[in-house]
Structure 1
Amino acid sequence: MTDAPITDPKTLRALSHPFRWKLINLLTEQGPSTATECSAKLGESVASCSYHLNMLAKYGFVAEVEGPGRQKPWRIAKRHQMISSEGLDEEGALAAEAAEMAYLEQEFERMRGALRQHEHLSDEWRDHYGVISSTTFLTREELREIQVGVRALFDRFDERVENPELRPEGARPVRFFMNTAVSPE
């Protein structure tokens, strides 16, 4: 799935808080959840969860699930965010950088937490946990080919996120984080 980059500085600033990325990840993995449920899972106050969910909703990243009852669950409205400072003015570029840094901060926190919990995984899952790093020499076209191929591979399983009934027995949330860094000339 290719999404247009977010270019509005206010929308980018909405993503510049690491806790908002935690909420996005929780709703992606757990499905619709109330602010109270988010609070219990993330160890943040209900008021804080509610505030940050409302901020994410204001910019279209989450939405309330319609239904009866006073406490409405929230769901992911936009699962893929593309952040780039390319072509933005100074305000937009700074907002994009802040959003990227907040994302990386919470992502690295997730990785450190997973590493600390590694020994608690069953043997069958422990064998597949790890960090992979590789350096190779590619042309720009080859790099793009790899990125498109990896995205296509993930897209094969994308429907399972929003449709739990499509998940096979024993399926668990698995987090992939890929960073592409090109050395300067």
Structure 2
Amino acid sequence: MAAREIVPGVDQLKALTHPVRVRMLGLLRVDGPATATTLATRLGINSGATSYHLRQLAQHGFIEDDESRGNGRERWWKAVHQATVTGESSVPDTPEGHETLDAYLQTVVTIYAQRLQEGIERRSSLPQEWREAFGLNDRVVRVTPAQATELEAQVNELIDGLEHDAVGEAVMFQFHVLPQPGPDQER
């Protein structure tokens, strides 16, 4: 079983500033072990590029060989952790630390936007009950940083509780905590 989470250092985080690597790692975490060929097909890229990115993820401690699978010709990979945790306290308070965190977050946001687009494109083919459950939400409320942190922790706790049930469809929850851009940012 994979460890719960990793708080990557700057060098590890640099390895995750490539969208293909973040997507591969996500697939290995959600769908389980896979070969380079399987991942190449899922991602629509060639197996040589896939193998390169897998080696980079392994070199930085995000994935490892799944020795319980394969037949000697196939190399199976598995995620070492279930989640990557980042934030201001996870990187050194240096220009390099902040730039690396920002580059990683830009990569994650790009992937989130792609996933949302894919969800919208797929929506019409979903069964009625999933079309009704489908939701996008951008509520804005006034809170302090401490309140925002507490709310995020509560939402994550609710989702963690659902993970233990393991029934139904795999559902992605994207939850973002950021100050609303606009003229009142100076308050």
Q: What range describes the TM-score normalised by the shorter chain of this pair?
A: 0.7 to 0.9
| Paired residue type of 1:59 | H
**Corresponding position of 2:120:** 115
Q: Which of 170, 173, 186 is the matching residue for 1:173?
A: 170
Q: Which of 80, 88, 91 is the matching residue for 1:77?
A: 80
Deviation of the 1:15 alpha carbon: 0.5
Residues 54 and 158 of structure 1: is their aligned pair in 2 closer, same or farther, counting only changes over 3 Å? farther
C-alpha distance after superposition, 1:111-164 (max 9, x if no partner)? 1111111101111111111211111122333222211111111111335xxxxx
C-alpha distance after superposition, 1:60-97 (max 9, x if no partner)? 11111113522122111122212224542111211111
Distance 1:174 1:52 in 2: 26
Counterpart mapping for 1:1-185 below 5 A: 5-6=7-8, 8-67=9-68, 68-70=70-72, 71-86=74-89, 87-159=92-164, 167-168=166-167, 171-183=168-180, 184=185, 185=187
Distance 2:88 2:13 in 1: 10
Distance 2:5 2:93 in 1: 17
Could you list the runs of 5+ residues in structure 1 that have no partner in the other structure?
Answer: 160-165
**Corresponding position of 1:162:** none
Deviation of the 1:2 alpha carbon: 8.9
Instruction: Compute the TM-score of the two structures, normalised by the length of structure 1.
Output: 0.86
| Paired residue type of 1:167 | A
| Paired residue type of 2:75 | K
* Residues 6, 81 of structure 2: 8 Å contact kept: no
Aligned length: 176
Alignment RMSD, CA only?
2.1
* Residues 32, 73 of structure 1: 8 Å contact kept: yes
| Paired residue type of 2:31 | Q
Residues 3 and 24 of structure 1: is their aligned pair in 2 closer, same or farther, counting only changes over 3 Å? closer
Q: Whose strand proportion is higher, 1 or 2? A: 2
| Paired residue type of 1:44 | I
